[in-house]
Amino acid sequence: MEDIQKEVHKAFEVIKSGGIILYPTDTIWGIGCDATNPEAIKKIYALKQRAETKSMIVLVNGDRLLHRIFSNIPEVAWDILEFSDKPTTLILDNPKFVAKEVVSTDNSLGFRIVKDSFCYNLIERMKAPLVSTSANISGHPSPMSFKDIDPAIIAGVDYVVNLRQNEDKKVKPSTIIKLKENAQVTIIRK
Number of residues assigned to the chain: 190
pLDDT of residue 177: 83
Q: Quick check: 19 pLDDT over 90?
A: yes
Put simply, whether the predicted model's pTM sits higher than 0.85 gets the answer: yes
Beta strands, E only, 21-60: 21-23, 30-32, 57-60
**Distance between alpha carbon 34 and the CA centroid of its chain, in Å?**
10
Residue-wise DSSP of 83-130 = H-SS-EEEEEESB-SS-GGGS-TTSEEEEEE---HHHHHHHHHHTS-E
Dist CA 41 CA 103 (whole Å): 11
Give 151's contacts (C-beta < 8 A, 6+ positions apart): none
Q: What is the pLDDT of residues 57-101, one digit of tens each?
A: 999 999 999 999 999 898 889 988 888 888 899 999 999 999 999
Phi/psi of residue 104, nearest 5 degrees: -65, 160
pLDDT of residue 38: 96
Q: Which of 2, 3, 50, 1 is nearest to 161 (CA)?
A: 3
**172 versus 88: which is more confidently predicted?**
88
The answer to whether the CB of 11 falls within 8 A of the CB of 105 is: no
Confidence of residue 189 (pLDDT cuts 50, 70, 90): confident
